[in-house]
Structure 1
Amino acid sequence: MSQAPSATGWVGWAYFASILLIIGAAIDIFYGIMAIVGPNTAYFVSGGAVASFNVAAWGWWSLIIGVLLLLAGIFLMRGAMWARVFAVIIAAVNAVSQLMSLPAQPWWSIVMVAIDVLVIYAVTVHGRELRS
């Protein structure tokens, strides 16, 4: 008979991951709306780096990922196993999609990938403690 592990001080990492997901979601939603409303802005097409992308389509993708990140962050605080798996998957998808915008926004993309890696680490290592 397996028992749920008792909560330790490391459970804060899992809550930290859920807060990071919510913050990342707000930023992705903001950038998604910004790309949809003004797809010809110079912010998204710097030096022709993203010229091969449809900026409005990238905005919709960013908006969808942002909503999924928001849902993952909210449900991760509840500690359900499916929410932990979903949070890891959506954080990985967000990291890959941020790498696509690396030529246009190098520093921001690196920061978002680092946040996604922190989320994946916190959820995989300390996510089980959320249940208790």
Structure 2
Amino acid sequence: MIFGGAMAVFEGIAAITKDNLFVATDNYVFRFSLTGWGWIHLIPGIVIVLAGCALLFNGAAWARVVGIVLLGLGALANFLWLPFYPFWSIVLIAINVFILWALCMGPQQEEWT
């Protein structure tokens, strides 16, 4: 979660600073400014990093729930972000889905025989 959230934070910072890396499409249905998309990625990314730290260090159950909700929303946001930077979006969607799967599996107890 920490890695996925950090990548979302970097994506948000890059969009807020209006980097020349992103391509703007003219007739995109979800028409926000690049700065708006940056804030959409930055704020949940920060919360995901904080929840990841809480889950890692304390094993907090609330962090697992927050992670599941925000990573699902993050995957959706990256799907909507596809026209601006397709490669980064696909990578983050894959990372978010993998982390979602891991969070939904929960901690596994090993049995010693």
Tell me the TM-score normalized by structure 1: 0.70
- Hey, what does 1:86 align to over in structure 2? 66
Q: Which amino acid aligns with 2:68?
A: V
Pick the aligned partner of 2:33 from 31, 54, 61: 54
Q: Unpaired segments of 5 or more residues in structure 1?
A: 1-20
The answer on 1:97 being equivalent to 2:77 is yes
Q: Unpaired segments of 5 or more residues in structure 2?
A: none
* Separation of aligned partners in 1, 2:25 and 2:60: 44
Structure number with greater CO (CA < 8 Å, separation at least 6) is 1
Structure 1 outlier segments of 4+, above 3 Å? 46-51
| SS class of match (2:82) | coil
Q: What is the number of residues matched between the two proteins?
A: 107
The answer on 1:119 being equivalent to 2:99 is yes
* Separation of aligned partners in 2, 1:111 and 1:47: 20
Q: Contact between 2:23 and 2:85, CA under 8 Å: does it hold in 1?
A: no
Alignment deviations for residues 67-123 of structure 1 (CA, whole Å, 9 cap, x no partner): 011112111112121111111111101100000111222222111111111111111
> How many percent of aligned residue pairs carry the same amino acid?
36
- Hey, what does 2:42 align to over in structure 1? 63
Q: Which amino acid aligns with 2:21?
A: Y
Pick the aligned partner of 2:87 from 104, 107, 120: 107
Q: Which amino acid aligns with 1:121?
A: W
* Separation of aligned partners in 2, 1:110 and 1:67: 20
Cα separation, partners in 2 of 1:49 and 1:72, compared to 1, 3 Å:
farther
| SS class of match (1:52) | coil
Larger Rg: 1
* Separation of aligned partners in 2, 1:117 and 1:58: 20
